[in-house]
Amino acid sequence: MPAFDNMPDMELYQPVQIDDALALAARLADRGWLVGGGQDTYGWIKDRNKRPDALIDLNGIESLRGIREIADGIEIGALTTLTEVATNPIVRERYSLLSKAASVVASPQIRNAGTLAGNVAQDVRCWYYRRGLDCYRAGGNLCYADTPEAQNREHAIFNASRCVAVTPSDTGPALVALEAQMVITSQRGQRVVPADRFFVGPDVDIENTTVLRDGEILTAVRIPAKWAGAEFYYEKVADRNVWDFALVSIAGAMRIEGGNIVASSIVCGAVQCTPRRLSSVERAIQGRPRNEATATMVAGMASQGARPLNQNAFKMPLMDNLVTKLLTA
Amino acid sequence: MNPRLTRRRFIKSVIFSGAALSSGAGFYLASAQSRQAGAVERLVSLNINGRTRRVDVMPQETLAHTLRYKLGLTGTKIGCNRGECGSCTVTIDDVTHYSCSTLTHSVKGKEVVTIEGLRSESGALHPVQQAFIDELSPQCGFCTPGQIMSTVALLKTNPRPTREEARQALSGNLCRCGAYDHYLNGVMRASGQLS
C-alpha cells in the first residue's frame, strides 16, 4: 500500500461562526470531514483510506473554545485542547480525574493540537481497519483481527460483535465516570446525550463509535457538579509512556463518608468498543471502606464475563489489578 | 502522416511529459483547479520567523510541506509525516506543534517559528542551540531541530525546569540514536543549571 506524503486535493472551509459550520456540515454530509486538532484526520487522508471531498476546519470558531462555569458544574468547549483541559485550574481542582486523563494522551505536541471532542470522537486504532482493509467496520464482511493468526493483543475482551476494536480514548472513561453530558448541535437544533450513551458498540452501529451523525457537531461537554472534588483514581497502562494507546485504563470517582464508599463510578477503557462501566464492582464496594479487604473481596469481579481473543487474555488480570490499585491507592 | 510530427519531435515530447510527471509538476498542475464558493483563498500571508511570507498554499497542504518545499526552510525535518516522531516540531504562538500534522491554512495570523528563526540578527546561535553543541547532544542530528524547538518552548514557560519536567516536555520527540540523556543535559545547560 502506498503511503503518500501529501494529501490528495480537496476543498477546505474555515467557518468562524458555528451556524456556518453547521450549514456546511449539513450540505456536505458524508462528503465533508470535521477537523478539530486533526490528529486523527491527516493519517487517514494521507493513506487514502478515507477520502472526504472537503475538510471543515472548526478552529476559527472561538465560541467552541474554553472552559466556563455553568449552573451545574462546568462546560468545556469542544475545541478546548487537551493541554488546556490538563492544565486548567478549575478542572484540576474539581475534576482532577479528567485533567489526569487528558495529560496522558499521546505526546505533548498532540495534546497541544488535539481537542477534547476529537479525543472522544476519534476512530478506533485496529491496524487492520486503519490499513484500509475491507473489514466489517469498513463496510466489508470479515474481521481480520479475530482469526487464528491475527495480531489482537490490543483488542477487545468484552462485547465484541463482528468487530473487536476497542475505544482508544483516554478521556472517554473519565467523562463516563464523571457522568458528563455531550452537547450535540445540528441545524435541526441541539440534543444532549449522556457520555455513556454517546459511545456505541459494534452491536449497535458497526461503522461509528459514537452517536454523532452527518451534519452534527459535538459542540461542548458538560460535567455536572455531582462528582466535583470526589476521590479520584486514574491509571493508563500502555506499552510506552508516551504516544501510545491504553492496553487498559481505569477511571474511578468515589464519594466516601464515615470511612465507607457511599457512591462510586468506575470505568475501564480499551477493553471493549466503548468505555466499560464496572457496575458490579460499584455495587459490591458500596458501603465498604476503600481498603485492601474490600479489594480482596471484589478480586476478579471486573473481568468476569470476558471473552479474550488469542493474544489479549492478559487484559483480564490487568483490569482486576487496576481495580485493586484503585481501591488501595 | 503529419509532416510536422517528426521522429525527433515525438521523442522530445515524450521525454518532456515524462519529466513533468516525475518532477512532481503533475501534482501541482492537477491540484490547480477552481475553488468552490466559500472555500479558502489559496494565496495567503504567513508570519514565519518574524517575516511576512506570501505563498500559494493548497487547501490540504501541511505546514511542513509549505515550510520545506515552498519557503525553502528545510531545517524542519519530515520523519514519519504522521505525527509520530516529532522531527517536524515548530512553535506556533510559542506552543509546539507537529508541522506535518498542521494545515498551513490554520496558521494564518499566527506566529510560526522554525529552527531557522532562532538565531539572532547578528548570526549568533540561540542559547539552546549553543548548549546542545556544548553538551554534544545530537548524534546523527535528524531529530535535533525538533528537540531544540521543544526545548525553546519549554524554557519560555519554565526557565528552570527539573530534569523530569524537561523529560516530559521533550517526550514528543523521538531520537532513534537514543541520545535522550544528552539532550536533557543540553536542556539543563541552556537553563543555566549545569556549569
DSSP A86-144: HH-HHHHHH-HHHHHHHHTSS-HHHHHH-BHHHHHHPPP--HHHHTT---GGGTSS--T
Q: What is the pTM of this model?
A: 0.92
Same domain assignment for residues B74 and B113: yes
**Quick one: B100 and B59 in the same domain?**
yes
Write down the pLDDT at residue A85.
98
Whether A113 shows a pLDDT value over 50: the answer reads yes
Closest CA to A294 of A270, A263, A326: A326
Predicted confidence band of residue B79 (pLDDT cuts 50, 70, 90): very high
Chain B nearest-CA distance from A13, in A, is 5
Q: Residue A266's closest CA among A292, A288, A247, A285? A: A285
CB pairs under 8 A between A and B: 98
- B49 and B109: one domain? yes
Same domain membership, residue B97 and residue B51: yes
Q: What is the pLDDT of residues B5-51, one digit of tens each?
A: 666 665 655 555 544 444 444 444 444 556 677 889 999 999 999 99
Task: Specify the pLDDT at position B4.
Answer: 60
User: With 90 as the cut, is the pLDDT of residue B160 above it?
Assistant: yes
Note the ipTM here. Answer: 0.95
pLDDT of A264 strictly over 50: yes
pLDDT of residue B57: 97
Q: Is residue B5 one of the residues assigned to a domain?
A: no
- Minimum CA–CA partner of A109 in chain B: B97
In a domain, B77, yes or no: yes
Contact across the interface for B172 and A243, Cβ inside 8 Å = yes
Question: Mutual orientation of helices B180-190 and B127-134 as an angle, nearest 10°?
Answer: 130
Which of helix, strand or coil describes residue A315? helix
Task: With respect to residue B82, please indicate whether it lies within any of the assigned structural domains.
Answer: yes
Report yes or no on A18 lying in a domain. Answer: yes
Residues B139 and B84 in one domain: no
Cβ-proximal residues to B39 (8 Å cutoff; 6+ apart), any chain: A11, A12, A13, A54, B59
**Sheet with A231-237, side-by-side order of all strands:** A231-237, A248-257, A260-269, A276-277
Residue B70 placed within a domain: yes
Write down the mean pLDDT value for chain B. 89
pLDDT band at residue A37 using 50, 70 and 90 as cut-offs: very high
User: What residues of chain A lie within 8 A of the CB of B86, using their CB?
Assistant: 107, 109
- As a whole number of angstroms, the distance between CA A147 and CA A310 comes to 9
Residue A268 pLDDT exceeds 80: yes
pLDDT of residue B1: 47
Task: Please give the pLDDT value at position A213.
Answer: 96
Report the pLDDT value the prediction gives residue A62, as an integer from 0 to 100.
Answer: 96
> What's the CATH number where B143 sits?
1.10.150.120
Q: How many structural domains does chain A have?
A: 1
Domain boundary among B89, B117, B145: B117
Q: Dig out the grid coordinates for A47 from the structure.
A: 493513506
Of A7, A112, A241, the CB nearest to B97: A112
Q: What is the mean pLDDT of residues A162-181?
A: 98
Q: What is the mean pLDDT of residues B190-195?
A: 91
- Do B112 and B175 lie in one domain? The reply is no
Beta strands in B49-195 (DSSP E): 51-56, 89-92, 95-98, 111-113
A163 beta partners: A161
pLDDT at B117 over 70: yes
Q: Are residues B91 and B144 in the same domain?
A: no
Look up the CATH number of the domain holding residue B100.
Answer: 3.10.20.30
* C-alpha A222 chain-centroid distance: 15
> What is the overall mean pLDDT for chain A?
96
Q: Domain containing A17: what range?
A: 11-60
User: Are residues B143 and B106 part of one domain?
Assistant: no
**Per the domain annotation, does B122 fall within a domain?**
no
Distance (Å) from the alpha carbon of B14 to chain A's nearest alpha carbon: 26
Do residue B60 and residue A24 have CB atoms under 8 angstroms apart?
A: no
How does residue A5 score in pLDDT terms, banded at 50, 70 and 90?
confident
Cα Rg for chain A, rounded, in angstroms? 20
The answer to whether residue A22 sits within a structural domain is yes
Q: Testing the interface with B: which of A7, A11, A12 to mutate, by most B Cβ within 10 A? A: A12
**Among B85, B117, B149, residue at a domain's last position:** B117
The domain tally of chain B equals 2
Strand runs (DSSP E) across A21-112, as ranges?
A: 32-35, 54-57, 67-70, 73-77
Taking the CA of residue A258 and the nearest CA in chain B, the distance in Å comes to 38
Q: Which domain holds residue B59?
A: 43-117
Residue A298 lies in a domain: no
Q: What's the pLDDT at A13? A: 97
pLDDT at B13: 58
In the predicted model, is pLDDT for residue A95 greater than 90?
Answer: yes
